[in-house]
């Protein structure tokens, strides 16, 4: 049987993890954490994509959205503004889980609304980088696409 494939997508400013506001986002960069994830899920093909550009995020979702087994998405600020990104997730058959490192509901009021929540299987927020692991575990528990 082929390895299951999961894409982790990080949106704008998440390339600065470990440097940007460590009191909110922690002091670890995502690339180091991704290495740990790939070791943790050695039997899964984990792929990582980060962009600060909305169209590139949408293009990546379109690229894998009919073939992969899951998408873990932290859209950063686009969570609260991008109907287009939500439409991209709704347009594909691959299930997605929304992840936020911080608890968006304990932050500024504009962060309390997510355009993605309605089109994702679920949301994990406020658990730091651990949220990515939990999202991958959830997606792996879903039935395999036929």
pLDDT digits (tens, 9 = 90+) for 46-87: 999 999 999 999 999 999 999 999 999 999 989 989 999 999
C-alpha distances out from residue 8 to 42, 53, 112, Å: 15, 16, 22
Partner residues linked to 48 by β-bridges? 8
1: which residues sit within 8 A by CB, 6+ positions away? Answer: none
Q: Which residues are annotated as a binding site for substrate?
A: 74, 80, 87, 101-102, 111
Report the distance separating Cα 86 and Cα 40, nearest Å.
29
Q: 70, 142 in Cβ contact below 8 A?
A: yes
pLDDT of residue 24: 62
Residue 56's CB is within 10 A of a number of other CB atoms, namely 14
pLDDT of residue 66: 97
The question of whether 100 is a catalytic residue gets the answer: yes
pLDDT of residue 23: 65
Partner residues linked to 96 by β-bridges? 71
Residue 27 clears pLDDT 70, i.e. is over it = no
pLDDT digits (tens, 9 = 90+) for 87-143: 999 999 999 999 999 888 767 776 778 999 999 999 999 999 999 999 999 999 999
Residue 21's CB is within 10 A of a number of other CB atoms, namely 11
3-state SS record for 13-67: CHHHCCCCCHHHHCCCCHHHHHHHHHHHCCCEEEEEEECCCHHHHHHHHHHHCCC
The percent of residues above 90 in pLDDT, for the chain, comes to 71
The question of whether 53 is a catalytic residue gets the answer: no
pLDDT of residue 28: 72
Q: Which residues are annotated as a binding site?
A: 74, 80, 87, 101-102, 111
Secondary structure class of 116 (helix, strand, coil): coil
33, 100, 115, 132: which one is catalytic? 100
Query: Structure pTM?
Result: 0.91
Architecture, CATH, for domain 4-141: 3-Layer(aba) Sandwich (3.40)
Q: Where are the domains of the chain?
A: 4-141
């Amino acid at each position: 049987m082929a390895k299951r494939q999961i894409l982790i997508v990080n949106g704008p400013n998440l390339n600065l993890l470990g440097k940007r506001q460590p009191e909110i986002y922690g002091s670890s960069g995502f690339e180091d954490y991704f290495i740990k994830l790939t070791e943790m899920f050695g039997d899964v093909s984990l792929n990582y994509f980060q962009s600060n550009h909305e169209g590139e995020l949408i293009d990546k979702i379109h690229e894998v959205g009919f073939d992969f087994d899951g998408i873990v998405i932290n859209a950063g600020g686009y969570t609260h503004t991008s109907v287009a990104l939500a439409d991209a997730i709704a347009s594909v058959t691959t299930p997605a889980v929304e992840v936020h490192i911080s608890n968006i509901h304990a932050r500024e009021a504009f962060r309390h609304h997510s355009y993605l929540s309605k089109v994702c299987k679920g949301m994990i927020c406020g658990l730091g980088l651990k949220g990515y692991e939990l999202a991958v575990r959830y997606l792996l528990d879903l039935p395999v696409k036929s």
